[in-house]
Structure 1
């Protein structure tokens, strides 16, 4: 009883993903907790119609803030965070059950690898094959650091282990959605940069994109994933450029006379 598991699913406007995500979690979860941040596309209606989930709602500030609010509301001492675009495989579910049947008292969290997909195509190279996240952890002992994006969990390295099995991650189903996501993440990254005192660099603006593309496409084998791999590498390179360009804009962008100064913090939307 003490090792029961809450699967926490943070979401907003995830009507394409939410039901398959819940279906994949139900075999392992003693509770499915859906934390919604203002869906308007029917996501919550789909969750309600399906049944079997507890729903909590709150305004979204950033990922770390939202998850740190939701984690303590889990009913059980172990939590698995599962984004709506992720799926638990039957092999991973079996490993999690085995792990929680007799958890190591010296371990507070577990890394889980991800099999990443782009528009439905599995990406096996270009760095995406090395992806892993800490998602299974003790509810009362682990929180995210306060950052706008790419926040890490505040947990001592010696208190973390790694599961062998992986989850599925369907990064995007359309290029339109992916471009919006990259722009949003670039904005949040710049907010982090400004808070850290990072200064814009002309060299970074010129070189970040081509160097990133070469790293992923040639040295990390992105070319082996065909057209989907080429697209992933190109988008990743453009994302690197956007972060540098937006950082430059904060301090050097010229505004129309009388306009309000640019802000370092971008909207969460």
Structure 2
């Protein structure tokens, strides 16, 4: 591959009440040329901790949904290459080096998938649907935008070739039952808004069959059973999110 003029990298993070994660993730992003945090007016110490970093620009914006929050963060970036991570994600040294190498290749793609290791507290969850988890985290700003219609589990629309990084992100999504439950409930509530925009009319299929299918698919077909108690917990909470989605949709449609 042919080297080109050194490319600069902007790392972006959106946050809300991430005081337990923000320092570590910002330390892991120190190799980037620019770091921007968009905070949704956290009521913990996230803003203060991030503001203590001299190499980090911190902006606050009221949260409406994930897609618009991410697109707003993108608008603040000074550089073409974007690394967008969540506060509960960690980069190994090998991944940092790979990213720095990739963006400086003349024939690099427009965006890159990165696979993730899902951490259940401090150990890797091997199955339960997460074994094939991948997401676009590295991309050129001018070639991508987040789809406004996908307000949770937002989808990046990419114009151009998409590659895949070799090294994985470490995803510390599950710290304890209550926190992950709240996250799944919140995602379910946002997904209800998506369903409303699609004019979905919930019925018994949505209320009962969809959550059960979600659980059985991840627990049996995606081998969550091999994760033991951890698999039961994750598959149950993901199914709960589906149940919340359609219960919330019922409430929205009734108003």
TM normalised by structure 2 equals 0.92
- 1:92 positional shift: 1.0
> Match for residue 147 of structure 2?
145
For residues 120-199 of structure 1, what are the structure 2 equivalents within 5 Å? 120-147=122-149, 148-156=151-159, 159-199=161-201
Deviating 4+ runs (over 6 angstroms): none
> Match for residue 202 of structure 2?
200
Deviations 1:134-180 (A, max 9, x none): 11111222110103212211114x52111111101111322222222
- Of 246, 249, 254, the residue aligned with 2:248 is 246
> Match for residue 228 of structure 1?
230
Q: Which consecutive residues of structure 1, in runs of 5 or more, have no partner in the other structure?
A: 253-261, 263-269
Deviations 1:6-59 (A, max 9, x none): 111111211000011111111x31111111121221112112334321112211
The question of 1:76 aligning with 2:93 is answered no
The question of 1:34 aligning with 2:67 is answered no
Q: How many residues align?
A: 250
SS at match of 2:118: strand
1:121·1:228 contact (CA, 8 Å) conserved in 2?
A: no
> Match for residue 63 of structure 1?
66
Most deviating of 173-182 and 13-22:
173-182
2:6·2:104 contact (CA, 8 Å) conserved in 1?
A: no
2:67·2:147 contact (CA, 8 Å) conserved in 1?
A: yes
- 1:200 positional shift: 0.7
- Of 90, 93, 105, the residue aligned with 1:90 is 93
- Of 21, 25, 32, the residue aligned with 2:25 is 21
SS at match of 1:10: strand
SS at match of 1:164: coil
Q: Aligned equivalents of 1:10 and 1:103: distance in 2?
A: 30
SS at match of 1:55: strand
Q: Which consecutive residues of structure 2, in runs of 5 or more, have no partner in the other structure?
A: none
- 1:103 positional shift: 4.1
TM normalised by structure 1 equals 0.87
- 1:2 positional shift: 5.0
SS at match of 1:71: helix
